[in-house]
A and B are shown apart, each in its own frame.
Chain A
Amino acid sequence: MSITWYLVVSAILFAIGAGGVLIRRNPLVILLCLELMLNAANLAFIAFSRMHGNGDGQIMAIIILVVAACEVTVGLGVIVAMYRRRLPVDVDELRELHG
């Protein structure tokens, strides 16, 4: 398969993820869509890594994996804190940064 196919799949995945972030209002689903976008970027990095026969892109993908894991932990912590404080779990309702 030529590398272009992988890149096109990656572009479509990124667009789907961006659309989810724009459309959905549940912060949990928005986090999932962020995962989609990070994975699309990962796919592009690895496709380019294969294209050049160079492992640097794979290291970048691993670092993205780590950052995604951190983002998930902190994001889910925020969501759980929102739920504990009985705030609505909806990004449209949460307009102010109350402490």
Chain B
Amino acid sequence: MAEVFFFIAAIGALGGAVGVIWNWNPFYNVLALVVHLISIAALFLLLRAEFLAAAQVVVYAGAVMVLYVFVVAYIGGAEPAEISPFGPKLRPVAILFVGAILVELVIAFAGSGLKALDGEGAGYQPGFGSPGYIGDLLLTKFLVAFELASLLLTIAAIGAVVLARRRRGTVDEAAGDEQVLSVMDALRLPPGTGSQKEAVSGLPDVHEPAPGSRPEITTGTSAGTDREGGW
């Protein structure tokens, strides 16, 4: 019975992986990756890694893939320049190298001479791979790695916000006035709202760039100007 499940899950994982690189629509690529991730979670279950299988489905197939879907929806569209999968002349070389990697990996795994490779693995102890077991290991033996992982997650979250924040203007405009956001910007009222300060000193002299004055670079995949803006 385990063999049947293994082959179903392995075919799902491999098919999903092929679907990731063999579709020209990024949305379908993401969906293929979801299939792949769920199949991988099934393989984890077969290997008695129950907690990891659950985490894989929840974190990867759930949260991370939603992030991908949002970005695909934001960027939009298939890549127009890529018509045939093997257009440029270096692609056969790439495939050759991939075959070399595969052969090398299989040799490294199968030729490692480990006797236990042919077996089913060590005897199963109850509780192996359960959340309690993993948590016990994480908080005792691997505490430093656990803390470093949390630090890394914080850094990545801040970095992503800094990278993807809304910048004013485009490449040419941003030469001198990179907009720096501060907490005070959230508290400041927009001009013309009739605050007491305006009643005393009049409307401030604001230099807003005209809405249509942005130079456009036509090499990108984006078509229109109306999608400028952020979340």
A binds B: yes
Cα of A85 to Cα of B230 in the assembled complex, Å: 12
- Do B85 and A32 have beta carbons less than 8 Å apart? no
Count of A-B contacts with CB under 8 A? Answer: 266
Q: Within B5-51, which residues are at the interface with A (CB < 8 Å)?
A: 6, 10, 13-14, 17-18, 20-21, 26, 29-30, 33, 36-37, 40, 43-44, 46-49, 51
A1 interface contact, C-beta 8 A: yes
Question: Residue of A at shortest CB range from B114?
Answer: A51
Beyond A51-B121, A55-B134, whether A88 also contacts B220 by CB under 8 A is: yes
Q: Provide the residues of chain B in CB contact with A97, threshold 8 Å.
A: none
A interface majority secondary structure: helix
Report B60 CB to chain A, min CB distance, Å: 7
- Do B137 and A55 have beta carbons less than 8 Å apart? yes
B219 interface contact, C-beta 8 A: yes
Interface size class of B (residues with CB under 8 A): 35 or more
B interface majority secondary structure: helix
Interface size class of A (residues with CB under 8 A): 35 or more
Cα of A15 to Cα of B100 in the assembled complex, Å: 9
Cα of A47 to Cα of B43 in the assembled complex, Å: 9
Q: Provide the residues of chain B in CB contact with A18, threshold 8 Å.
A: 97-98, 101
Q: Which of A15, A26, A88, A98 contacts B98 (CB 8 A)?
A: A15
Question: Residue of B at shortest CB range from A57?
Answer: B49
Q: Which of B122, B163, B228 contacts A51 (CB 8 A)?
A: B122
Q: Produce 1/0 per residue, A42-66, CB < 8 A to B.
A: 1110110111111110110111011
- Do A55 and B129 have beta carbons less than 8 Å apart? yes
B152 interface contact, C-beta 8 A: yes
Q: Which of A15, A55, A78 contacts B105 (CB 8 A)?
A: A15
Cα of A54 to Cα of B85 in the assembled complex, Å: 42
Q: Provide the residues of chain A in CB contact with B51, threshold 8 Å.
A: 58
Q: Which residues of B contact A (CB under 8 A)?
A: 2-3, 6, 10, 13-14, 17-18, 20-21, 26, 29-30, 33, 36-37, 40, 43-44, 46-49, 51-52, 55-56, 59-60, 63-64, 67-68, 71-72, 74-75, 79, 81-82, 85-86, 91, 94-95, 97-99, 101-102, 105-106, 109-110, 114, 116-125, 128-129, 133-134, 137-138, 141-142, 145, 149, 152-153, 155-157, 159-164, 166-167, 170-171, 216-217, 219-222, 228, 230
Closest 9 CB pairs of A and B: A53-B122, A70-B156, A77-B163, A20-B21, A22-B94, A11-B105, A15-B102, A77-B160, A19-B98
